Amino acid sequence: MQFDPADPGYLYLMTSHQMARVKVAACAAHTTCGDCVGAADAYCGWCALETRCTLQQDCANSSQPHFWTSASEGPGRCPAMTVLPAEINVHQEYPGMILQISGSLPSLSGMEMACDYGHGIRTVARVPGPAFGHQIAYCNLLPKDQFPPFPPHQDHVTVEMSVRVHGQNIVRANFTIYDCGRVGQVYPHTACTSCLSAQWPCFWCTQQHACVSNQSRCEASPNPTSPQDCPQILPSSLAPMPTGGSQSIPVHLANAAFFQGAALECSFGPEETFEAVWVNESAVRCNHVVLHTTQKSQVFPLSLQLKGRPARFLDSPDPMTVEVYNCAVGSPDCSQCLGREDLGHLCVWSDGCRPRGTLQPPPGTCPAPEIRAIEPLSGPLDGGTRLTIRGRNLGRRFSDVAQGVWIGSVACEPLADRYTVSEEIVCATGPAPEAFSDVVTVNASKEGRSRERFSYVLPLVHSLEPTMGPKAGGTRITIHGSDLHVGSELQVLVNNTEPCTELLRSDASIACTVPGGALPAMVPVCVRFEQRGCVRGGLSFQYMPNPVITAISPHRSHVSGGRTITVAGERFHMVQKVSMAVHHIGREPTLCKVLNSTRITCPSPGALSNASAPVDFFLNGRVYADEAAVAEELLEPEEAQRGSQFRLDYLPDPQFSTAKREKWIKHHPGEPLTLVIHKEQDGLGLESHEYRVKIGQVACDIQIVSERVIHCSVNESLGTAEGQLPITIQVGNFNQTIATLQLGGSETAIIVSIVICSVLLLLSVVALFVFCTKSRRAERYWQKTLLQMEEMESQIREEIRKGSFAELQTDMTDLTKELNRSQGIPFLEYKHFVTRTFFPKCSSLYEERYVLPSQTLNSQGSSPVQETHPLLGEWKIPESCRPNMEEGISLFSSLLNNKHFLIVFVHALEQQKDFAVRDRCSLASLLTIALHGKLEYYTGIMKELLVDLIDASAAKNPKLMLRRTESVVEKMLTNWMSICMYSCLRETVGEPFFLLLCAIKQQINKGSIDAITGKARYTLNEEWLLRENIEAKPRNLNVSFQGCGMDSLSVRAMDTDTLTQVKEKILEAFCKNVPYSQWPRAEDVDLEWFASSTQSYILRDLDDTSVVEDGRKKLNTLAHYKIPEGASLAMSLTDKKDNTLGRVKDLDTEKYFHLVLPTDELAEPKKSHRQSHRKKVLPEIYLTRLLSTKGTLQKFLDDLFKAILSIREDKPPLAVKYFFDFLEEQAEKRGISDPDTLHIWKTNSLPLRFWVNILKNPQFVFDIEKTDHIDACLSVIAQAFIDACSISDLQLGKDSPTNKLLYAKEIPEYRKIVQRYYKQIHDMTPLSEQEMNAHLAEESRKYQNEFNTNVAMAEIYKYAKRYRPQIMSALEANPTARRTQLQHKFEQVVALMEDNIYECYSEA
426-430, 626-630, 756-760, 1217-1221: segment of lowest average pLDDT: 626-630
Predicted pLDDT of residue 653: 94
At residue 396, does pLDDT exceed 70?
A: yes
- In this prediction, residue 18 has a pLDDT band, given cuts at 50, 70 and 90, of low
For the residues 627-653, what does the mean pLDDT come to? 63
For the residues 505-531, what does the mean pLDDT come to? 94
At residue 756, does pLDDT exceed 60?
A: yes
What is the three-class DSSP state of 2? Answer: strand
Higher pLDDT, 582 or 4: 582
* CA dist., res. 1249 & res. 1253, Å (int): 7
Predicted pLDDT of residue 766: 86
Predicted pLDDT of residue 809: 44
387-401, 550-564, 829-843: segment of lowest average pLDDT: 829-843
Predicted pLDDT of residue 53: 93
* CA dist., res. 807 & res. 1054, Å (int): 13
For the residues 1189-1200, what does the mean pLDDT come to? 88
Q: What are phi and psi of 436, to 5 degrees?
A: -160, 175
At residue 863, does pLDDT exceed 50?
A: no
**DSSP notation for 949-1010:** HHHHHHTS-GGGTTSS--SHHHHHHHHHHHHHTHHHIIIIIHHHHHHHHHHHHHHHHTS-B-
For the residues 275-282, what does the mean pLDDT come to? 92
- In this prediction, residue 1079 has a pLDDT band, given cuts at 50, 70 and 90, of confident
Contacts 24+ apart (CB under 8 A), 1398-1403: 1399/881, 1400/877, 1400/878, 1400/880, 1400/881, 1400/885, 1401/877, 1403/878, 1403/881
- Phi-psi region for residue 663, left (φ > 0), alpha (ψ -120 to 50) or beta? alpha
Ranked by mean pLDDT, the top range of 431-440, 529-538, 638-647, 1163-1172 is 431-440
Strand order across the 490-494 sheet = 468-470, 540-544, 522-529, 490-494, 498-499
For the residues 657-673, what does the mean pLDDT come to? 81
Predicted pLDDT of residue 800: 40
Specify the length of the chain in residues. Answer: 1404
Of 242, 239, 223, the C-alpha closest to 231 is 223
What integer best gives the mean pLDDT of the chain? 84
Say if CB 184 and CB 213 are below 8 A apart. Answer: no
pLDDT more than 90, % of the chain: 43
Using the CB atoms, write b or e for 867-881: b if 16+ within 10 Å: eebbbbeebebeeeb
At residue 812, does pLDDT exceed 50?
A: no
Q: Is 810 exposed, middle or buried (0-12, 13-18, 19+ CB in 10 A)?
A: middle
Predicted pLDDT of residue 562: 95
Output Rg (C-alpha) for the chain, integer angstroms.
44
Amino acid at 26: A
- In this prediction, residue 505 has a pLDDT band, given cuts at 50, 70 and 90, of very high
Predicted pLDDT of residue 512: 96
- C-alpha distances in Å from residue 98, one per residue of 137, 159, 789: 6, 15, 76
At residue 852, does pLDDT exceed 80?
A: no
At residue 172, does pLDDT exceed 60?
A: yes
At residue 856, does pLDDT exceed 50?
A: no
Of 272, 455, 316, the C-alpha closest to 375 is 455
What is the three-class DSSP state of 1250? Answer: helix
At residue 906, does pLDDT exceed 90?
A: yes
Q: Count of CB atoms within 10 A of residue 235's CB? A: 15
Q: Count of CB atoms within 10 A of residue 85's CB? A: 13
- In this prediction, residue 788 has a pLDDT band, given cuts at 50, 70 and 90, of very low
For the residues 636-660, what does the mean pLDDT come to? 74
Predicted pLDDT of residue 389: 97
* CA dist., res. 1360 & res. 1368, Å (int): 10
Predicted pLDDT of residue 745: 54
Predicted pLDDT of residue 1290: 63
At residue 373, does pLDDT exceed 60?
A: yes
* CA dist., res. 946 & res. 942, Å (int): 6
Helices (H), 318-364: 334-339
- Phi-psi region for residue 49, left (φ > 0), alpha (ψ -120 to 50) or beta? alpha
* CA dist., res. 1041 & res. 1087, Å (int): 10
Predicted pLDDT of residue 132: 58
Say if CB 703 and CB 712 are below 8 A apart. Answer: yes
End-to-end CA distance of the chain: 111
- In this prediction, residue 1377 has a pLDDT band, given cuts at 50, 70 and 90, of confident
DSSP 1251: I
Higher pLDDT, 1333 or 542: 542
Cα angle: 152, vertex 155, 161; to 5 degrees = 95
Q: What are phi and psi of 887, to 5 degrees?
A: -65, -40
- In this prediction, residue 157 has a pLDDT band, given cuts at 50, 70 and 90, of very high
- In this prediction, residue 1072 has a pLDDT band, given cuts at 50, 70 and 90, of confident
Predicted pLDDT of residue 752: 66
Say if CB 1102 and CB 1012 are below 8 A apart. Answer: no
Q: What are phi and psi of 1088, to 5 degrees?
A: -120, 135
- The dihedral built from the CA positions of residue 1131, 1136, 1140 and 1145, taken in this order, carries a sign that is positive
- In this prediction, residue 652 has a pLDDT band, given cuts at 50, 70 and 90, of very high
Quickly count helices (H) and strands (E) in the chain.
Answer: 34, 70
Over residues 1160-1172, the pLDDT tens digits come to: 433 344 444 444 4
Residues 6+ apart with CB under 8 A from 816: 995
Q: Is the pTM of this model over 0.75?
A: no
For the residues 1321-1350, what does the mean pLDDT come to? 87
Using the CB atoms, write b or e for 1062-1073: b if 16+ within 10 Å: bbbbbbbbbbbe
Predicted pLDDT of residue 937: 92
For the residues 187-205, what does the mean pLDDT come to? 93
Predicted pLDDT of residue 636: 44
At residue 423, does pLDDT exceed 70?
A: yes
**DSSP notation for 82-110:** EEESSEEETTS--S-EEEEEESS----TT
At residue 741, does pLDDT exceed 80?
A: yes
- In this prediction, residue 345 has a pLDDT band, given cuts at 50, 70 and 90, of very high
For the residues 1188-1205, what does the mean pLDDT come to? 88
SS3 letters across 486-497? CCCCEEEEECCC
156-160, 1084-1088, 1182-1186, 1398-1402: segment of lowest average pLDDT: 1398-1402
Of 828, 824, 847, the C-alpha closest to 1260 is 828
Predicted pLDDT of residue 776: 64
User: Where does 268-419 show beta strands of DSSP type E?
Assistant: 273-280, 283-290, 297-306, 312-313, 320-325, 347-349, 353-355, 370-375, 378-380, 386-394, 405-407, 410-414
Predicted pLDDT of residue 1166: 40
Over residues 534-587, the pLDDT tens digits come to: 998 889 999 999 999 999 999 999 999 999 999 999 999 999 999 999 998 999
Over residues 1032-1050, the pLDDT tens digits come to: 889 999 998 876 666 788 8
Cα angle: 653, vertex 658, 659; to 5 degrees = 120
At residue 802, does pLDDT exceed 60?
A: no
Predicted pLDDT of residue 1073: 77
- In this prediction, residue 817 has a pLDDT band, given cuts at 50, 70 and 90, of low
Over residues 1224-1252, the pLDDT tens digits come to: 999 888 888 888 888 999 999 888 888 99
121-125, 596-600, 954-958, 1352-1356: segment of lowest average pLDDT: 954-958
Cα angle: 1125, vertex 1126, 1130; to 5 degrees = 120
Omega before 310 within 30 of 0, i.e. cis: yes
Say if CB 556 and CB 651 are below 8 A apart. Answer: yes
What is the Cα 362 distance to its own chain's centre? 51
* CA dist., res. 1386 & res. 1366, Å (int): 12
Q: Count of CB atoms within 10 A of residue 1315's CB? A: 15
What is the Cα 1234 distance to its own chain's centre? 22
Over residues 105-118, the pLDDT tens digits come to: 888 888 889 999 98
Ranked by mean pLDDT, the top range of 115-119, 766-770, 805-809, 1171-1175 is 115-119
